[in-house]
Chain A
Amino acid sequence: MTAPTTLGARPRHLLDFADWTPERLTALLDNADTMNQVLDRPVRKVPALQGLTVCTAFFENSTRTRVSFELAARRMSADVVSFAAGASSLSKGESLRDTVEVLTAYKVDAYVVRHPASGAAHLVARYSGKPVINAGDGRRAHPTQALLDAYTIRQEFGSLEGLTVAIIGDIRHSRVARSNAELLPKLGARVRLCGPATLLPADLAALPGVTLTTDPREAVRGAHAVMALRLQQERMAGGYLASLQEYADHYQVSGALLREAEAGAIVLHPGPMNRDLELSSDVADGEQSRILRQVENGQAVRMSVLYHLLVGRE
């Protein structure tokens, strides 16, 4: 199958968005609508990936993301195998390359990779020669999360063109923030990254369509979507934060903060939430929250990604 030229060359992997044109990304989100319709049927299964084997290779724990990908693949009739290894077991002996070569020898057709090191998904692509979907590599990228965020925002507003999205939290260590900062401007939105100065690297201002601020009110003012990031509590040990209370007092996405946003603004969170730390419970459960919708959409978006990468290739 040759892609229509307006979409640009079809990328072989989803490692980040570098090779993905806005047209291609829009087509992928459009296709997620179709997948959502499949998920609304009594029998939630299509034969698109029959005969293909998808391996979820998780070198870092993430039950939710793995389940979401595995369901997405199974609903498209793929066979799914799971490989899980702590990064520690790798450092004890077998190299990433050896692991990938062994899995590839089992005739895996595509990989879904989660790894604690930035760039590891790129290495799996290089070592396996198979299509790879990055399910989160270090601080680098989590592209399907950004796609499901974009999809959820688009569902609300029809398009991302001209919208403003505020992302608040530990930007420094967040692959979700980096992937959204890469994706959303490609789709026409502006991104404001916000967090305490210790967790907001100034060098990220070099990204196109992205501005930085340490003031959450400034970040949220006039925003159409407000995303709170999970605060990893081990950041305390790294000296980045004086206390969790200090963080919650100044950076929590609360009802008061949300009132600075556009009237119809929605609230997002990549999960799992630390309730009443980065996000107040009333906002998490409030009518502007789309957090559970994100989870639902994640499956449809991942089905669409699998379809784009695996269907119609010889």
Chain B
Amino acid sequence: MTSLTITHIKRPGADRLESVTTENGVIKGWNLPPEGEVLDGRGGTVAPAFIEPHAHLREPGQTQKEDLASGLAAAAAGGYGTVVSMPNTSPVVDDPATVRALIEKAEGLGLARLRPAAALTRGQEGEHLAELASLKEAGAVMFTDDGRTNENARVLRLGLEYAHSLGRVVSVHAEDASLRADGVMNEGPVSEALGLPGNPAAAEAARVARDLEIVAQTGARLHIQHLSTARALELVRAAKARGLPVTCEVCPHHLLLTDEALRSFDALYKVAPPLRTQADADALLAGLLDGTVDCLATDHAPHTRAEKERDLLEAPFGIAYIELAFPLMWTHFGERLGLTRLLDLMTAAPARVLGWPVPTLEPGAPADLVVLDLEAEREVDPRTFLSKAKFSPWAGETLRGWPTLTVVGGRVAFRG
């Protein structure tokens, strides 16, 4: 019997201070006599802990960049209770034993929950399906070849059908590799002025169009990762209007940064898909507002400082900021989105994408909770990151609305 009581918290939209008590990993009830450990929520707003549908935790094999301990601690600090980890590690997560080992190791850490995604194809090479049924049994919650693109459309089609029969969603990094070619940033006037190889918006739109035709043909569920262009979003909007079973995610960095950032020649801003134009960012925000975009994801993609200090051709793709997702969104888009919609995009929405029960604050629900101080303002100091990637595009920026407490399964995973 483990109990925990959080006092002095508000439910979203309410002014009244309440307390919640958890017992054995579930919410026992509201405003009960305190029992077990008692934590003061200091007037913060409580919500179901966030769900990250797309993060790179780099274990196994790339633990100089991140590992389960640092990545899940960073996630908890960002208010996340659950992280879906991408399988493009070394080796690739394409066998049931690795899935089990990752889950077991993560459980021992007492941080955010790990829910691994597994590769759709062996070695993520896009040619032979991985053992999806066995991977599902081992605990894989999603199948994806993220990090690679699914160039063989027939194999993707087969994977979608097989995964669909297993009740698991497939997600895709939608870029046509031949159109993307050696692009390191968005193709446009900025890339041409900088003399850097461009990745055209058409690479994403063309691949989304192809994949939507496969969805239409098969009726199988598809989730499109990190949409970055207005055009691809428009294709998804039209597909949803047709009733196709497609969902998509957008990353805060594609809302907040544009290709202009590359004028610094700083590989901090090198990410795949690339930072696009302001018009694209505006369209993505409109998609969040009108519901075309289903959920938020950070695509937390840590690398070592030395790797990101390389030149723009050599440096790897990725930005890591799972600790900043809520403050960034609340500071910049809180008014436009409103708290309810923003919380939905980070909790219920990813759960729906993954086919999970929608998290609630009701008695009996899992005691995965975040307490947010919506007024707190703090300067971003990457040296304090729990992630191993202690650098950030937003270093020195003052953000508002920080997680102060993250509880996972009734245990404290982060206390700010």
Given A95, A118, A175, which contacts B265 in the complex, CB threshold below 8 Å?
Answer: A118
Listed residue (B189, B195, B265) with the most chain A CB atoms within 10 angstroms of its CB: B195
B171-214 near A? 1/0 per residue, CB < 8 Å: 00000000000000001110111111000000000000000000
B107 in the interface (beta carbon within 8 A):
no
Residue B222 lies at the interface, judged by CB distance under 8 Å to chain A:
no
The answer to whether A119 and B192 touch (CB under 8 A), given A91-B314, A95-B306, A138-B313, is: no
Interface size on A, residues (CB 8 A): 27
| Mask: chain B, 146-167; 1 = CB below 8 Å from A; 0 = not | 0000000000000000000000
Q: Which residue of A lies closest to B197 (CB)?
A: A139
Residues of B within 8 A of A206 (CB): 189, 192-193
CB-nearest residue of chain B to A97: B309
Q: Could you say which residues of chain A place their CB within 8 Å of the CB of B309?
A: 95-97, 123
Question: In the complex, are the beta carbons of A123 and B188 less than 8 A apart?
Answer: no
8 Å CB contact of B195 from A91, A95, A118: A118
Q: Say yes or no: B196 contacts A139, CB within 8 Å.
A: yes
Question: Does A115 make an interface contact (CB < 8 A)?
Answer: yes
Complex Cα distance, B190 from A207, in Å, reads: 10
Nearest CB in chain A to that of B309: its residue: A97
Chain B interface, number of residues (Cβ within 8 angstroms): 18
Residue of A nearest to B314 (CB): A91
In Å, the complex CA distance between A137 and B196 comes to 10
Contact with A along B252-273 (1 / 0, CB 8 A): 0000000000001100000000
Determine whether the beta carbon of A118 is less than 8 Å from that of B306.
no
Tell me if B311 is interfacial: C-beta within 8 Å of chain A.
yes
Contact of A123 among B193, B195, B265 (CB under 8 A): B265
B192: min CB distance to chain A, Å: 4
Question: Are B313 and A117 in contact, CB atoms less than 8 angstroms apart?
Answer: yes
Complex Cα distance, B312 from A137, in Å, reads 11
> For the complex, is A24 an interface residue (Cβ under 8 Å from B)?
no
CB distance from B310 to the nearest CB of A (A): 6
B311 close to A115 (CB less than 8 A): yes
By beta carbon, the residue of chain B nearest A175 is B195
Within 8 A of A (CB), among B15-54: none
Contacts of A91 in B (CB 8 A): 314
Residues of B307-360 contacting chain A, CB below 8 A: 309-314
**Chain B positions within 8 Å of A203 at CB level:** 187-189, 191-193
In the complex, whether A122 has a CB less than 8 A from a CB of chain B is yes
- How far does the Cβ of A169 sit from chain B's closest Cβ, in whole Å? 15
Judge whether A114 is part of the interface by a CB distance below 8 angstroms.
no
- A139, B195: Cβ atoms closer than 8 Å: yes
1/0 per residue, CB under 8 A from B, across A210-248: the answer is 000000000000000000000000000000000000000
List the interface of chain B (C-beta within 8 A of A).
187-189, 191-196, 264-265, 306, 309-314
6 residue pairs from A and B, CB less than 8 Å apart = A118-B194, A118-B196, A119-B311, A139-B196, A140-B196, A207-B193
Q: Beyond A91-B314, A95-B309, list 6 extra A-B contacts (CB 8 Å).
A: A90-B314, A96-B311, A118-B313, A120-B311, A137-B195, A138-B196
